[in-house]
Amino acid sequence: QVGSKLESVVGATARSLCARVWRLIAANLQYFVGRGSAMGQQASQAELECIDRTDVAAPSAPRIAVCGASSVDDGSAVPDRATDSVVISATEAMLATIVSQKPARPPPSTGFACGFGLPSGPQVEVVDIHPRRATVRWKYGASDARRFHIDVLRVAAVCGSSRDLDGEEGAEVGFFEAPGNASELVLPDGALQRATGLFRVQVMAEIGEAGKAHLTQPGCSAPFFTPPEAPGAVVFPRLAGEPEETEIHVRWEPPADDGGAIIEDYEVAIFGPPEGSSGGDAPKAAGVPGEEQAEGVPDEVAECSQEAPLGPRLKLLRTSECACRLDQLAPGSGPYRFEVRPCNSFGIIGPAAVVSVSTAVAAPAVPSGLRARLLPGRKRACSFDGGPGEGGVSGGDVDVVRLEWRAPADEGGKRTESYLIYAAEEDLEEEADCPKLAADSEPAPIHSAMAGEAAVDGRREPGGACSFDVCVEPGRAYTFYVEAHNGALPSGLSQPSASVFVPARVPAAPQDPPAVFLVEGGFAAELRWVGPRRGGGLPLLSYKVGVLKATDITADGLVSHVAREVTVACESAAIHSQGGGSSSMQWQPPRPLRENEVIYASRIEGLQADAKHCFVLAASNAMGTGRWSPPSSPLMTPIAAPPAPVNAVATVMIDDKQRVVVTVHWESGRSQSSNDGAIAAFQVMLIPVAPPTTASSSSASAPADNSVLRERILVPMGRAQWRFDWSAPLPAPGNYAVEIVAESTAGQRSSPVVLAFDVRPEAFPRREGCEVAAAAPQWAEEAVLILGPAITTDDTRFGEFDETSNWQQSLLLWHDVDQGWQGGSEGPPSLRRGRPENGIDVVCCYRRPGSNLAHAAVLSAGVSASRLQVALPSNVPMSLRLVLRSEPVDLTVAEKPTAKRGHKVRSEPLLLMMSNTSEHLRPLWEVWARQTVGGVPPQWTALPELQNNILEASWLEDGNMAKVQFELSERNVGESGEGCLLPPGHYEFTFGDERQIQHSVRRLGMSGWTAKARRSVRDALGEDASLPMVSAEESCIICMERKRTHAFMHADTGDGHLAVCGECAGAYRTEAATPGAARPVRTCPVCRRGFSALQRIYQ
C-alpha cells in the first residue's frame, strides 16, 4: 500500500529515485505491519513526530525533504508538485514518510527577552559541489542544539543555463533535518539540478526544551551554482545517402542529453584505414562489433565502437552543423573512422559516437592490348560445357581462339574479379572476297573467365598480362571484346581485336554412339541419335551409318573395318524421327537437347542373319565426312528366314468330280547361307482378286465367292530339298492369285512367291437344262449426266440432311442386261436374254457430311429401262450399284437396300460425288509409305485409280472397321500408279471410325509393316475440295465434326445444354437404353447431371 501510494503521489518521479524508495520501504515494512496502522493519502503531524521521536531506530540519521523540483533529463525524477514531499534519510537505513506539506518547525526566536540576547545561527559553507549534489558544513558554538534545519534556497538563475526553474527567487528548493550533534550534511543525488542557480543554503538550530523549542537566526552560505554535466553521445550517426567514389558525407542528430547546457559545436576526429586493410573489401558502414543492429535502422547507421582498430588520424575539426564531409579520397578506400563528440556552452565534451564508412568502388579501367589468334588443329580438343554463349555452339565441334590482353591499370578501388568476353560474328558473302558484318552481329557475351584463371602464371596485378582460350564455331569470322568487372561495376568493352577467320572443316565425330533397336523380326535395325544441324561451320548434309561386326572393334574401342556404309540425308533422318510411320517405339535421348540439336532416326535393313552387328555414325557436310563415332552396343540378329520357293507352276483342270481345280507345283529353294533356317512348312493362299482394269469400264468381274483360302503344308523331316504340289477347287470364274511362303522351324517366313491366273467361264463344264449365272449389269461409258439443281428436296430416301444441302438432278445410264442363258428356250423366265423381267434395283451406299456411319438407300426398285432420273445430294460420297432382281416388286412392302456383298448378280460400283456447282469431285486415298520405291524418304503417297476405287467402294458399302485386301503389281497399277511410292505386294486396309481409330494399311507377307492412311477430296484441278469444318463453338462435343442440334434437358432446373449432333444423340439413346449401360451415357456430358430427355433444337 505504501508503494502504491508513493507511485500515485510522485507520478513522474525518476525511476532511479523510486527504486531507492522501494528498497527503503522493503527494509522497514515490518514496522508498519506491527503497528497495524492504515496509511492514507496524507499523514498527520502527530504521526510524523511519533515516527520521528519514537519509531526511528537511529535518531542520529537526518531527515531529508525535497520539494518543488521538476523532472530532469537523465532519467531520474523528483516530485513535480510543491505540496508533495519525500522524506528520506541520507543513509541506506533511513525511513521514508509521505507528507503533504513542510514538516512543522518551532517558531523562530523573538529577540531579546528577560535579559537574554537574540541567539545567532551557525556558520555555513557549501563544499564539494557537483551537478546534482553538494556537501553542507556548519559550525555552531553552543551545545544546546536539539537539531538543525537545513533549507536550500534559489537566489537567481545561472546565465547560460539551458533551463530555468519554475518559481520565484528565494523559493525553497529543498529542506532537510539533522540531529543536534551533526555538523555536516551530504545532499543526496538529485537534491540539486545541474547547471542551475544561484543557490544558497541556510541552517537554523532548534534550541530550547521540547515544549518550548525555538529556532535561531539562520546561518547562510555563500551563493553557489551547480555545474553542468557532460552531454550525451550524438544520436543516429550515419552515412548521408549512397557512398560516393571520392568523398564521404556523414550526418548525425544532436544528443538527447545536452548535460544542462546548450550544445555549441561538435568535435570530429577522422582516422584513416588501419594498416594492412584492403579498402575495397571494407563494408560501407561498421557498427559496434558483436551487436545486432536495431530493427528499422538503415544499414548506413553505426553506433559507438571503441574496439574497432584505428588508423592514422587524418583530420580534427570543429563544426556547428550536424554534418561532416571528407573529399579527395581514393575510390574503394576505407574504412574511414569518424568520431563525433558534442561540446556544450561550458566547454564540456561528451563521449564519442563512431561510424566507419568506405568510399564507393569505381568502375575499373578498360582492358587494353587485346589480341586474338586461332590455335592450330592439335589444340582443338575443346569441350564447350556452357556459359553465356552456349547457344549455337555444339559440344566438341568447335575451334579454339586464344585471347591475350592487359588487365586494367586502375581497378576502381577493388581488385578485378572476372572478365566477360564478347564476340561479333561476321558472315562471308559468296560474291565478294571480303567479310561482311551480319545485320545481327552486335557483340554478344560468349564466355566468362575468373581473373585468377585469366592471369598469366596466376599473377593478379593491375596492368598484368592475361590470356584465355574460347571455343568458337568454325566457318565464320570473329571480332572479340573484353570487359573487366571488379564485383561492383563493369569497365565497358575494350577496343576490338583484329578479325579472326575460322575456316570451315569436316564435322567432328559424334560424341555418343547411336541407340539401336531390332525391328522387322530382327533383320533390320532402327537407329536413334542426337546430333546438331550444323557441323564444321556448315550445315550438315547427311550422316553415314557404318555397319560392322563386333569382331571389327579393337580392344581400345576403335573401329578397324566397316563392312557396309549407308548414307542417310539429314532432312529425311529428321523427318523419320518425328513420326511419320517409321516406328511406334518411343525413345528418349540420354540428355536434354541443346539449341540447334535434333533427334535423327534411320532404318538399316538387310542385316546378316545370326551375327553380332555394331553401328557407327559419321557426319558429312560440303567439306567432306568426319570421323566415326564410338560404336553402339552389339545386336544379335536371329537365324535367317528360309529361302523362297522356286519353279512354281499353276495348272487349271477338271477333276473326276467335274470340278474346276487349280494345281500348284513348286520346289523348295536352295539355302544361300549356313545361317538360313530349315524349312518346316509352306503357307499357301488362294486369293480372288479384282480384274486388272478400272471398275467403271471393265466387263470382267471378280469371283462371286471372294473368300481367301489358306492352307499350311508340313514338310516331312529330311525333305528340305523336294518338289511339292497343292490342289484346290475353284468356286467360280474370275482372277486368282496363289501365294506360296516357306516357313522355318523358328517360325520365320520367306518372301512370297505369287502366281496370278485368270479362269474363264468356258473352263467350267455346262450341263444341258441347267442355268449359269447371268452376266452382271454394266454402267454406260458416260454413266452420269448432271441436269442441274433439283427443284424439290422432299426426297427422304437419303435420310435427314442439313437444310443448306444442295441437290442435283441426275440421269443414270446403263447397258441392257445379257442374261447369259445357255440351256435353250426352257428355263426360268427371269433368266431369258434381253431385259430382265423383274427389272433392276438401283442401290446407293453413302455417308452424310460429318457422319462416321455408312448408309444405304434404294433409289428405285424394278427398273425395266436402262436409265433413271433421280435427285442426288451434293458433297455426299456415293457408291451406286445395279442389282438384278430375282422376284417381282411388291409395292405394299418398303424396299430395303440390297447392295451388300453376297448378292451374286450386281454391277461394279459407280463412285459419284458432286459439288454445289455440279462439278465432279474425286476421292483420294493416301498411305504413309514407310518403305518406298527408290529409297525415297517416307511420305504420303496416293494409291492408283483401281485400288483407290476399291477402297472408296468398300468404305461406303462395308462401313467402319471393315477390312479389304488389294494388290499392287505392274499388271494392275497402270498409268495412274506411276506416282505411287508403295512397293508391289499384297495389302490389307482397315477402315477406322473417324473418331478414335484412324485408317490403317498393312503390308502382307514376311516383310510386312503397318502405316497410317487418310482420305481427302480433290476437284478437277487437284485442289482440296473438302467441306469446311464446323467451328469449335458450333461443333458437337462428342464427334467434333457436325453441328450441334440436340440438347440434354434437365427437368429439375427447366433448362438444357445444346451439346451433340443428331448422330451422337442417336448413339446416346441406343447406349442409354442398353441394360447396364455405363454411367457416362446416362449423364449430361456438359454438367455430368442426369438428363430427362434428349430433345432436338435445330434442324
Instruction: Please tell me the distance from the alpha carbon of residue 1052 to that of residue 1055, in angstroms, as a whole number.
Output: 8
From the number of C-beta atoms within 10 Å of its C-beta (0-12, 13-18, 19+), residue 1085 rates as: middle
> 1081 CB contacts (<8 Å, ≥6 apart)?
1068, 1071, 1072
pTM: 0.45
Only one residue has cell 556404309, namely 565
Position 517 pLDDT exceeds 80: yes
Fill in the DSSP letter of residue 470.
Answer: E
Q: Are 1070 and 1062 in contact (CB under 8 A)?
A: no
Provide the pLDDT for residue 796: 63
Instruction: Please tell me the distance from the alpha carbon of residue 123 to that of residue 204, in angstroms, as a whole number.
Output: 10
Provide the pLDDT for residue 330: 87
Provide the pLDDT for residue 396: 61
Position 949 pLDDT exceeds 70: yes
What is the bridge-based pairing of β-strands 538-539 and 197-207?
unpaired
pLDDT band for position 136 (50/70/90)?
very high
Provide the pLDDT for residue 553: 84
Cell numbers for 688? 480372288
Mean per-residue pLDDT, 999-1026 = 85
Distance of CA 1027 to the CA centre of its chain: 40
Instruction: Please tell me the distance from the alpha carbon of residue 293 to that of residue 745, in angstroms, as a whole number.
Output: 88
Question: For 195-206, how does the pLDDT look when each residue is reduced to its tens digit (9 = 90+)?
Answer: 887 889 999 988
* pLDDT-wise least confident of 363-377, 685-699, 866-880: 685-699
CA nearest 389: which of 422, 426, 418, 437? 422
CA nearest 898: which of 913, 911, 885? 885
Rounded to the nearest 5 percent, the helix, strand and coil shares of the chain are 10, 35, 55
Rounded to 5°, angle at Cα 467 from 465 and 471: 165
Instruction: Please tell me the distance from the alpha carbon of residue 836 to that of residue 830, in angstroms, as a whole number.
Output: 6
The DSSP H or E segment spanning 207 is: strand 197-207
Provide the pLDDT for residue 836: 64
* pLDDT-wise least confident of 274-278, 449-453, 595-599: 274-278
Instruction: Please tell me the distance from the alpha carbon of residue 757 to that of residue 516, in angstroms, as a whole number.
Output: 43
* Residues 80-101: b if buried by 16+ CB within 10 A, e if exposed: eeeebbbbbbbeeebbbbbbee
Q: What is the DSSP string of 161-180?
A: BS---SS-TT-EEEEEEEET
pLDDT band for position 897 (50/70/90)?
low
Only one residue has cell 498409268, namely 975
Q: How confident is the prediction for the chain on average, in pLDDT? A: 75
> 435 CB contacts (<8 Å, ≥6 apart)?
426, 427, 428, 429, 477, 499, 501
Provide the pLDDT for residue 824: 41
* pLDDT-wise least confident of 162-171, 180-189, 941-950: 162-171
Position 588 pLDDT exceeds 60: yes
Q: Are 965 and 991 in contact (CB under 8 A)?
A: no
Q: Are 992 and 960 in contact (CB under 8 A)?
A: yes
Angle between the 2-10 and 15-27 helix axes, to the nearest 10 degrees? 160
Only one residue has cell 457436325, namely 1042
Instruction: Please tell me the distance from the alpha carbon of residue 877 to that of residue 293, in angstroms, as a whole number.
Output: 86
Q: Are 78 and 71 in contact (CB under 8 A)?
A: yes
Mean per-residue pLDDT, 234-243 = 89
Provide the pLDDT for residue 377: 67
Q: What is the DSSP string of 1064-1093?
A: HHHHHHHHHHSTT--GGGGB-TTT--B-SE
Q: Are 721 and 647 in contact (CB under 8 A)?
A: no
Position 32 pLDDT exceeds 50: no
Cell numbers for 344? 556544450
Most confident of 158-167, 478-487, 690-699, 896-905: 478-487
Most confident of 113-117, 293-297, 434-438, 961-965: 961-965
Runs of H (alpha helix) within 537-636: 570-577
Mean per-residue pLDDT, 775-787 = 85
From the number of C-beta atoms within 10 Å of its C-beta (0-12, 13-18, 19+), residue 1073 rates as: exposed
> 219 CB contacts (<8 Å, ≥6 apart)?
120, 121, 122, 123, 124, 138, 140, 202, 203, 204
Most confident of 263-272, 292-301, 880-889: 263-272
The arrangement of strands across the sheet holding 646-654 comes to: 646-654, 660-667, 723-729
Provide the pLDDT for residue 212: 82
Report CA torsion sign: 282, 286, 290, 293.
Answer: negative
* pLDDT-wise least confident of 458-472, 663-677, 828-842: 828-842
| DSSP collapsed to 3 states, 623-649 | CEECCCCCCCCCEECCCECCCCCEEEE
Q: Are 770 and 720 in contact (CB under 8 A)?
A: no
pLDDT band for position 418 (50/70/90)?
very high
Provide the pLDDT for residue 1092: 85
Instruction: Please tell me the distance from the alpha carbon of residue 866 to that of residue 857, in angstroms, as a whole number.
Output: 19
CA nearest 397: which of 629, 209, 168? 629
Mean per-residue pLDDT, 408-424 = 91
Report CA torsion sign: 984, 988, 993, 995.
Answer: negative
Question: For 2-20, how does the pLDDT look when each residue is reduced to its tens digit (9 = 90+)?
Answer: 555 445 444 434 444 544 5
Rounded to 5°, angle at Cα 23 from 20 and 29: 140
Mean per-residue pLDDT, 729-738 = 86
Question: For 92-133, how does the pLDDT look when each residue is reduced to its tens digit (9 = 90+)?
Answer: 333 333 333 566 777 776 654 555 566 788 999 999 998 888
CA nearest 736: which of 684, 676, 691, 802? 691
CA nearest 188: which of 29, 22, 23, 20? 20
* pLDDT-wise least confident of 381-395, 501-515, 516-530, 961-975: 381-395
Only one residue has cell 422376284, namely 887
Torsion angles phi and psi, residue 985, rounded to 5 = 155, -175
Only one residue has cell 575443346, namely 382
pLDDT band for position 342 (50/70/90)?
very high
Torsion angles phi and psi, residue 25, rounded to 5 = -65, -40
Provide the pLDDT for residue 157: 58
Fill in the DSSP letter of residue 832.
Answer: -
